Amino acid sequence: MGDDDDVTIINSGEEITPPPPRPGSGGQTPQIVYNSPSLSRSPLLLTPGKKTPNRIRTPRFITPLGSPLRKAIKLTKLDPEDAWLPITESRNGNAYYAAYHTLCSGIGIQALILPVSFTILGWTWGIICLSLAFIWQLYTLYLLVQLHESPENGIRYSRYMQLAAATFGERLSKFLAAFPIMYLSAGTCVALIVIGGSTSRMFYQTVCGPTCSPSLTTVQWYLVFTCAAVLLSQLPNLNSIAGVSLIGALTAVGYCTGIWTVSVAEGRLPNVSYNPVRSGTQISRIFDVFNALGIIAFAFRGHNLILEIQATMPSSEKHPSNIPMWRGVKVAYSVVAMCLFPLAIAGYWAYGYMIPANGGMLTALIAFRGQDVARWVLGLISLFVIMNAVSSFQLYGMPMFDEIESNYTRRFKKPCPWWLRSIIRAMFGYGCFFLAVAIPFLGSVAGLIGGIALPVTLAYPCFMWLKIKKPKPYSPTWCLNWGLGISGMTLSAILVAAGVYVVINTGIQVSFFKPQ
């Protein structure tokens, strides 16, 4: 970047009018670099009286290779608050890191219950609904990647809540998005402690066999898993856990592939049936179908993290972050498809309607094939589940760490010290442990709460695109986004109603501090 090149900095929602081109500049427009809005104010709120220099000169000593290379260098001035927070503390991400994070967040233990939906929908409708849901959520994922940075005002929306505030307003965004985002982050961490602790106990019993000394209690296994998760959570920022996400992604692919491969190799169960399960009354049948759709919809998660993952990348006008981010997302979701579709189809083929509603494929494998499969195979699959759970805990906990630390930086105007950061993360981890032990029946209302969180994945991105990009009314893009947005909100309302019906019809065994 030479002395004759202008760079317009657009910082925290404040736009600086670029100076007119000088003679000899060829009338070239200034380059633009992007910056994230501060968490202390609305992303689109102008800050009166704040001066930002119109131009930044790159010193000649920055490179000895002369003007051509200096012209390729762009300096991005970060908001100080962004540079203090774990999500945006490091901007050295790339397409590989994006693929690791996206794959780790895109495949979870909830994928193992996908065959349960086929027991209600059957072969044809099960495959059709799974395919449509995959295409739908991939489209909304594309919208979020494109909305991360706005060429119109130079703002980077580095967090889902910032984009929601820019779309719906500060107050309405807190009502519409705050609870679903909190559930998808903190609620997922609680569920991961339950899954990781229970699977740790299963791993011990599988590897050790009946001759071992008595195992720990369920609560103690929860605590063992939580200690491992808290220890790993001391890694400072989102970029620093890229290796952890890679391990989580590989282990997720490993246990998904291992489960359906072993199930197919062992063959179908005797007298397996593929007739859809039907309840007694017509209303019960309708709500069973809705619950099956909910199982498919909830298998796709991680949209609440996609903006945060993209925020770890550098971005400028010539090299926007959406290009490498979308490249990483395409690779990640190609692998997701190669895991989820065989798992759902092969699982239903092997076990039919006998797949347990709680636990899904992992429980079915141990219950029906536990005596036929080598112990080391079952132990390896269980170990993969544990490693994926502890890796996913770091990824889903990072937005909560970022939110808690942002309260400190807003108040004291300085970064959070390392010792306080360690205490915050330990308190969060053990708080999730307390909830996992105190409310073991939380899974019984997961469908109800999940229905409330569904718009984050399927509906809100469409409305965000309409508000920010403003496509031409009645154009194909305009109609598509309105149709998908309204359909997502309708599906969410139906799933909430189905969840309420299931709770009222079947009841909940309220047993505080009594995990199974």
Instruction: Give the C-alpha separation, 425 to 421, whole Å.
Output: 6
For 300, counting Cβ atoms within 10 Å of its Cβ (0-12 exposed, 13-18 middle, 19+ buried), the class is buried
Is the distance from CB of 22 to CB of 47 less than 8 angstroms? no
Separation of alpha carbons 246 and 254, rounded Å: 12
Cβ atoms of residues 190 and 211 within 8 Å: no
Q: List the end-to-end C-alpha distance of the chain, in Å, as a whole number.
A: 63
Please identify which residue in the block is written with the tokens 């296994």. 221
d(CA 480, CA 463): 11
Alpha carbons 76 and 311: distance in angstroms, whole number: 13
pLDDT of residue 161: 92
- pLDDT surpasses 60 at 38: no
Confidence label for 59 from pLDDT (cuts 50, 70 and 90): very low
Answer whether residue 55 shows pLDDT above 50.
Answer: no
pLDDT surpasses 60 at 268: yes
The closest of 259, 499, 257 to 360, measured between CA atoms, is 259
pLDDT at 224: 94
Give the rounded percent of residues in the chain with a pLDDT score beyond 70: 79
- Of residues 497 and 29, more confidently modeled: 497
Mean pLDDT computed over 195-209: 87
pLDDT band at 453 (very low <50, low <70, confident <90, very high): confident
Taking a C-beta distance cutoff of 8 angstroms, is the pair 372, 267 a contact? no
For the segment 174-179, the average pLDDT, to the nearest whole number, is: 88
- Residue 477: both structure tokens together: 């893009």
- How many of the other CB atoms lie within 10 Å of CB of 516? 10
The phi, psi pair for 32, rounded to 5°, reads -120, 135
Give the CA distances from residue 302 to residues 106, 293, 384, 455, in Å, rounded to whole numbers and listed in that order: 6, 18, 20, 13
- The pLDDT tens digits of the residues spanning 2-20 come to 444 444 444 444 444 454 5
pLDDT at residue 348 tops 90: yes
Comparing 24 with 439, the larger pLDDT belongs to 439
Q: What is the mean pLDDT of residues 148-154?
A: 78
Residue range 278-330, pLDDT digits in tens:
766 778 888 888 888 888 888 887 788 999 999 999 988 888 999 999 999 99
pLDDT(488) > 90: yes
Which one-letter DSSP state was computed for residue 25? Answer: S
56 pLDDT higher than 60: no
Q: Which of 62-76, 340-354, 388-402, 424-438 has the lowest mean pLDDT?
A: 62-76
Q: Categorize the per-residue pLDDT at 215 as very low, low, confident or very high, splitting at 50, 70 and 90.
A: confident
The pLDDT value recorded for residue 52 is 42
pLDDT surpassing 60 at residue 133: yes
CB 295 within 8 A of CB 120: no
Most trustworthy range by pLDDT among 223-232, 359-368, 500-509: 223-232
| 253 CB neighbour count, 10 Å cutoff | 18
Report how far Cα 300 is from the mean position of its chain's Cα atoms.
Answer: 9
Q: Which residue has the higher pLDDT, 32 or 454?
A: 454
- Please check the confidence at residue 230 and state whether its pLDDT lies above 80: yes
What mean pLDDT, rounded, does the chain reach?
Answer: 81
Distance of CA 197 to the CA centre of its chain: 21
Higher-confidence residue of 34 and 286: namely 286
